[in-house]
Amino acid sequence: MAKTKELSKDTRNKIVDLHQVGKTESAIGKQLGLKKSTVGAIIRKWKTYKTTDNLPRSGAPRKISPRGVKMITRTVSKNPRTTRGDLVNDLQRAGTKVTKPTISNTLRRQGLKSCSARRVPLLKPVHVQARLKFAREHLDDPDEDWENVIWSDETKIELFGKNSTRRVWRTKNAELHPKNTMPTVKHGGGNIMIWGCFSAKGPGLLIRVKERMNGAMYREILSENLLPSARALKMKRGWVFQHDNDPKHTARATKEWLRMKHFKVLEWPSQSPDLNPIENLWREMKVRVAQRQPQNITALEEICMEEWAKIPATVCENLVKTYRKRLTSVIANKGYITKY
């Protein structure tokens, strides 16, 4: 049966007015072109509730009781990786039969939604403490100090596809809580590996690492690309070099090479990609590369080089200017990974 059109407020009020002056339901119906039953329903509502406005509708009762809602909310709060199927089974054992969409709707009303678990480095207590120490020690460093840093890193660029995801139940802005993330290990495979650097003045050199990198190859990369990048970026005297604590970077031979070259190196806390602004540039470049859809490794490398060169110096400058915010976020997050 088709749904009837709801009467306007003016029409409902006119029905009441005509009723009050003594007209019958049939007469009102004929005058306004309405069914007698419709007129009668409006008059009964007015007599009962003293209004013709729509009353709140209760709707269908909830499938899950308040106790059941508390149970599943508590379950996903303790373990955000709980699946909808698990929750359906839990409720069924408690005597309530529901579907997966009902689970989703119920949790959404509690402020929880299913999201992909964010991949972050695995942090041990020693990493958390080192990150806090770094942030606190450098929190009051002047902006000029960060402008005189060359930031560097390696990253992998995928030709096709994307890494698998895992979904978790979480509230808004809780994507980086340790329970809602997936720990990862760096460089778990990929199509090409690249090394690059930048400073507040713009992007430095970018190169493809064509073989499995070891300490000797890393020192060769620095020898051929670090100083030329510093010259091209017109770094001031006493500039500082940043790299992470990858074993190739911290090998005794690498440390000795850097010392012999008189390069100042920024002491760095392990497992801290969120403290390195080059990660923002990697993300931006990867988006641009994916949009161009390279079809082979050669094209992938060429596009990476082109997109890296297109990064405006102002983007680099802004990343460095806001560095203090990164340190503040790490402290506020008690040493755990922050948004970057």
Nearest to 11 by CA among 38, 37, 48: 38
Q: What is the pLDDT of residue 121?
A: 84
C-alpha 231/C-alpha 321 separation (Å) is 21
Count of residues making up the chain: 340
Model pLDDT for residues 199-231, shown as the tens digit of each residue: 999 999 999 999 889 999 999 999 999 999 999
DSSP string for residues in 5-68: PPPPHHHHHHHHHHHHTT--HHHHHHHHT--HHHHHHHHHHHHHHS--SPPPP--SPPSS-HHH
| Overall average pLDDT of the 7-21 stretch | 91
In this structure, the strands spanning 149-157 and 192-199 are antiparallel
What's the predicted TM-score (pTM) here? 0.67
Q: What is the pLDDT of residue 182?
A: 65
Nearest to 284 by CA among 146, 180, 94, 157: 157
Domain ranges of the chain: 9-49, 71-110, 126-164+186-333
| Overall average pLDDT of the 240-261 stretch | 96
Whether the Cβ atoms of residue 308 and residue 285 lie closer than 8 Å to each other: yes
| pLDDT beyond 60 at 107 | yes
Q: Is 297 helix (H, G, I), strand (E, B) or coil?
A: helix
CA atoms within 13 A on the CB side of 126: 1
pLDDT band of residue 185 (cuts 50, 70, 90) is very low
Model pLDDT for residues 57-100, shown as the tens digit of each residue: 667 778 899 999 999 999 999 999 999 999 999 999 999 999 99
Mean pLDDT, the chain, integer: 90
Helix (H), strand (E), coil (C) string for 159-218: CCCCCCCCEEEECCCCCCCHHHEEEECCCCCCCEEEEEEEECCEEEEEEEECCCCCHHHH
Q: What is the pLDDT of residue 120?
A: 82
* CATH number belonging to the domain at 126-164+186-333, selected among 3.90.320.10, 3.90.1150.10, 3.30.420.10, 3.30.365.10: 3.30.420.10
